[in-house]
């Protein structure tokens, strides 16, 4: 036994020494990279209270609503700073919310990789179109782009109209009965639309108001966004044993079971994992973002009767007294509604911030930034730049009339991102929003029951109001305003 024990001790010692050496080398490399970036980025203004190794991690609020309010306050306080940085642990982030700092990042094909914090989406969405990079992303983008060709989108109109009619039937029951929260109703409609168009499968979400999928999306968004801003939980081991790892995995099973059997019929050779990655991505991105956008529009029009009256006047001109479905020619004529949607996306962009990993050393607004730094585009703040949007908190759809958009920098307004990685589904989203909103406004007058202050936006993966969108509806006929 002694001989046997001795023979095992040699390889065990070797393994231990190897692990110790590897740990030391990794630590030294990480430390070296961190120290290098720390000094290289020293000239860039930073948030107050930055500490070595911890950075600003302890400053950020854990509650999603408080965190988003904090981000808004930071971008307001530092609005005149040419460039701003903060640190999450040893990882540097640039905060971009001016057109001149956003453009060099989004306009450069070298910077197409998503930021480090997107890795926490991988268990849910895999490395699909939202999270992949390099050759895989380019291949998927090329493969999926034809799916959003105008002729194919036109085929989706029938589904959008059918599902919107179901939504109107549900809303009819609420009309004239006082305030109610419409957020879930609109969300389930959007979910039915994306399932039937992207997956070719009816799921009857609107008939099941307690959708487990929707609830799980909200829970997962909250869990992931909380992990993104707490670097001590970035380690999988720590997260699983001391954080929300088990709750994360429980919700993940619900989300994946919902999309597991979905398939594409596009003739491309994709593995089951390939398909599920894209289905999960389209299911999340394709219903949550549009649902939020439509809800914000209903609140804003319900708060601005004069704008609502203009939309309904336009609808009267296009549809008259008919209750027919929306067609492609109608969509082209709904120019003021188009401006309303764009202004709502300015004030309440569905994705309030998104991140990129810088693929090479570069200069942003006069500052040298090293490869590997992360850039966070704060869309919510970018869209409030008074240079391009005077009185930025005011709801003014006319800002987006062609004559009022002349000279505005293209990177001052990016609700669907911009550059190579712009949103592949933006035409789908705008079409859906016009169909749903025009149909609602042909049937009802909308009155908002919340002030702007009461909305309390929560910026997780998607920008939502903390307690929903509360409105009153009154039935109308096309002749009334």
Q: By C-alpha distance, which of 84, 76, 101, 82 is closest to 41? A: 84
> Which among 148, 152, 136 has a CA at the least distance from the CA of 273?
136
Report how far residue 390's alpha carbon sits from residue 392's, in angstroms, rounded to the nearest whole number: 5
- Pick out the residues of the known binding site for heme: 423
282-326 pLDDT tens trace: 777 778 899 999 999 999 999 999 999 999 999 999 999 999 999
Lay out the sheet containing 354-357: strands in order across: 84-88, 91-96, 374-377, 354-357
CA distance 463 to 445: 25
HEC secondary structure over the chain: CHHHHHHHHHHHHHHHHHHHHHHHHHHHHHHHHHHHHHHHCCCCCECCCCECCCECHHHCCCCHHHHHHHHHHHHHHCCCCCCEEEEECCEEEEEECCHHHHHHHHCCHHHCCECHHHHHHHHHHCCCCCCCCHHHHHHHHHHHHHHHCHHHHHHHHHHHHHHHHHHHHHHHCCCCCCCEECHHHHHHHHHHHHHHHHCCCCCCHHHCCCCHHHHHHHHHHHHHHHHHCCHHHCCHHHHHHHCCHHHHHHHHHHHHHHHCCCCCCCCCCCCHHHHHHHHHHHHHHHHHHHHHHHHHHHHHHHHCHHHHHHHHHHHHHHHCCCCCCCCHHHHHHCHHHHHHHHHHHHHCCCCCCEEEECCCCEEECCEEECCCCEEEECHHHHCCCCCCCCCCCCCCHHHHCHHHHCCCCHHHCCECECHHHCCCCHHHHHHHHHHHHHHHHHHEEEEECCCHHHHCEEECCCEEECCCCEEEEEECCCCCC
Threshold 0.85, pTM exceeds = yes
Q: Which residues contact 407 (CB under 8 A, 6 or more apart)?
A: none
Assigned token pair, 26 = 């990794």
pLDDT given for residue 2 in this prediction? 39
Distance in angstroms (rounded) separating the CA atoms of residues 448 and 300: 8
CA distances from 148 to 41, 69, 145, 151 (A): 41, 35, 6, 8
Integer angstrom CA distances of residue 17 from 7, 11, 20, 368: 16, 10, 5, 40
Determine the Cα–Cα distance for residues 143 and 20; give it in Å rounded to an integer: 45
Exposure string over 67-95, b if 16+ CB within 10 A, otherwise e: bbbebbebbeebeeeebbbbbbebbbbbb
Q: Which residues contact 352 (CB under 8 A, 6 or more apart)?
A: 68, 71, 378, 379, 380, 457, 459, 462, 463
The CATH topology of domain 47-475 is Cytochrome p450 (1.10.630)
How many Å apart are CA 192 and CA 184, to the nearest integer? 12
Q: Which residues are annotated as a binding site?
A: 423
What pLDDT does 156 receive? 92
pLDDT on residue 4: 40
Q: Which residues of the chain have pLDDT under 50?
A: 1-8, 10, 28-29, 263-264, 266-267, 480-481
């Amino acid at each position: 036994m002694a001989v046997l024990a001795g023979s095992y001790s040699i390889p065990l010692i070797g393994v231990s020494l190897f692990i110790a050496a590897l740990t030391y080398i990794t630590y030294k490399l990480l430390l070296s990279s961190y120290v290098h970036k720390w000094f290289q980025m020293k000239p860039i203004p930073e948030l107050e209270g930055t500490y070595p190794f911890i950075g600003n991690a302890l400053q950020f609020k854990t509650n999603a609503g408080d965190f988003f309010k904090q981000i808004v306050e930071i971008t307001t306080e530092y609005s005149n700073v040419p460039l701003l940085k903060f640190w999450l642990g040893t990882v540097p982030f640039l905060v971009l919310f001016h057109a001149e700092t956003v453009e060099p990042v989004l306009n450069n094909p070298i910077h197409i990789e998503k930021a480090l914090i997107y890795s926490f989406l991988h268990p849910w969405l895999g490395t699909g179109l939202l999270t992949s990079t390099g050759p895989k992303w380019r291949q998927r983008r090329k493969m999926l782009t034809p799916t959003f060709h105008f002729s194919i989108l036109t085929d989706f109109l029938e589904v959008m109209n059918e599902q919107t009619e179901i939504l109107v039937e549900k809303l009819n029951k609420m009309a004239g009965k006082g305030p109610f929260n419409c957020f879930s109703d609109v969300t389930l409609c959007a979910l039915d639309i994306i399932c039937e168009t992207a997956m070719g499968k009816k799921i009857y979400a609107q008939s099941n108001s307690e959708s487990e999928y929707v609830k799980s999306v909200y829970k997962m968004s909250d869990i992931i966004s909380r992990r993104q801003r707490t670097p001590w939980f970035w380690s999988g081991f720590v997260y699983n044993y001391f954080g929300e790892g088990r709750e994360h995995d429980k919700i993940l099973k619900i989300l994946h079971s919902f999309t597991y059997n979905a398939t594409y019929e596009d003739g491309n050779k994709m593995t089951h994992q390939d398909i599920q990655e894209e289905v999960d991505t389209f299911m999340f991105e394709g219903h949550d973002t549009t649902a939020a956008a439509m809800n914000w529009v209903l609140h804003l029009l319900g708060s601005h009767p004069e704008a609502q009256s203009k939309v309904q006047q336009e609808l009267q001109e296009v549809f008259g007294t008919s209750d027919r479905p929306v067609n492609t020619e109608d969509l082209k004529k709904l120019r003021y509604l188009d401006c309303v949607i764009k202004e709502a996306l300015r004030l309440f962009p569905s994705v309030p911030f998104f991140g990129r990993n810088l693929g090479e050393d570069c200069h942003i607004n006069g500052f040298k930034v090293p490869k590997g730094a992360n850039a966070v585009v704060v869309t919510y703040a970018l869209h409030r730049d008074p240079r391009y949007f005077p009185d930025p908190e005011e709801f003014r759809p006319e800002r987006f009339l062609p004559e009022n958009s002349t000279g505005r920098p293209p990177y001052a307004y990016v609700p669907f991102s911009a550059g190579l990685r712009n949103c592949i589904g933006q035409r789908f989203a705008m079409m859906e929003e016009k169909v749903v909103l025009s149909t609602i406004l042909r049937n009802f007058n909308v009155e908002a029951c919340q002030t702007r202050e009461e909305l309390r936006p929560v910026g997780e993966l998607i920008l939502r109001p903390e307690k929903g969108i509360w409105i009153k509806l009154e039935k109308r006929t096309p002749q009334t305003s």
